[in-house]
Structure 1
C-alpha cells in the first residue's frame, strides 16, 4: 500500500505545469489549453472503460492512473483544487446515494437523467 495521495499528484502537476515545455509533458498539455486536456481526459476515460470491461487488472490500474492524471491537469487549468472535489464528495457521502441524487436540482445534474 502506498501513501501517495491525490494531493501529492496535485502538487506534482502544479510543479510540472510551471516547468519548461521541453522538460514536462504537463507543461505541454497546459500550453495546449483546457479543451485539449478535456479531450485527452475523455480518451483516457474511454480507455479505462474498455479496460474495465475487457482487460486485466494491470491494464485497468494503468488506464485509471492516466485518467486521474489528466483529470488533475484539467482541474489545475481551471484553478479548481482537489480539496474542492473532495469536499463535494464528502457532502455527497454524508447521505445515501439515492438520497443525494434526489436532492440535486436539474441544473446541478446538468438536467439529465442518471441511472
Structure 2
C-alpha cells in the first residue's frame, strides 16, 4: 500500500480535481445536459438528497464489511485492496453529497485542520456543550 511519504499536496490536488469534475457534472445535470441514463453522477444527482445519502449509507456498510474481512484475513494484500476500493467508493459518494450541499473537500480539510492539536475527547465535549451533538 502507499506510504505516508506521498505529499498531502497530491491528495489535496486529487480531491480538488475530482470535486471539480463532480461539480461540473452536477451543473450539467441541472442544465439538462447530463443524462441520468448515461451518467452515473447525473443518476446520483437525480435521486436528490435522500438517494445520495442512502448511497453513502450503503457504501459505508460495504466499507465496514471490507475492513472486517481484511482484518480477518490477516490484512492480506488482496483484502486490503478490496478495502481500499470500498473506501474509494465511499469517498466518491461523499464528494457527491458535498457537491449536492454546495460544499467542497476543502471545507472538510479546514474543519479537520481546526481540530488539530485538540483532544478528540475535548473536541467532542465542546460540540456537545455547544448543542451540536
Question: Structure 2 length as normaliser, TM-score?
Answer: 0.73
Report the counterpart of residue 91 of structure 1 in structure 2: 114
Report the counterpart of residue 36 of structure 1 in structure 2: 51
**Offset from partner CA, 1:80-101 (integer Å, 9 cap, x none):** 2222111111111231222212
Report the counterpart of residue 102 of structure 2 in structure 1: 79
**Offset from partner CA, 1:38-87 (integer Å, 9 cap, x none):** 00000000000000011310110000000000111011111122221111
Bigger Cα displacement from structure 2, 41-50 vs 16-25: 16-25
In the TM superposition, structure 1's runs of 4+ consecutive aligned residues that sit over 4 Å from their partners are none
RMSD: 1.8
Q: 2:132 aligns with which of 88, 103, 108?
A: 108
Q: Secondary structure at the match of 1:104?
A: helix
Q: Distance in 2 between matches of 1:15 and 1:8?
A: 11
Question: Structure 1 length as normaliser, TM-score?
Answer: 0.83
Mark the runs of 5 or more structure 2 residues left unpaired by the alignment: 71-78
Q: 1:27 aligns with which of 17, 36, 42?
A: 42
Larger radius of gyration: 2
TM-superposed CA distance for 1:27, in Å, is: 0.9
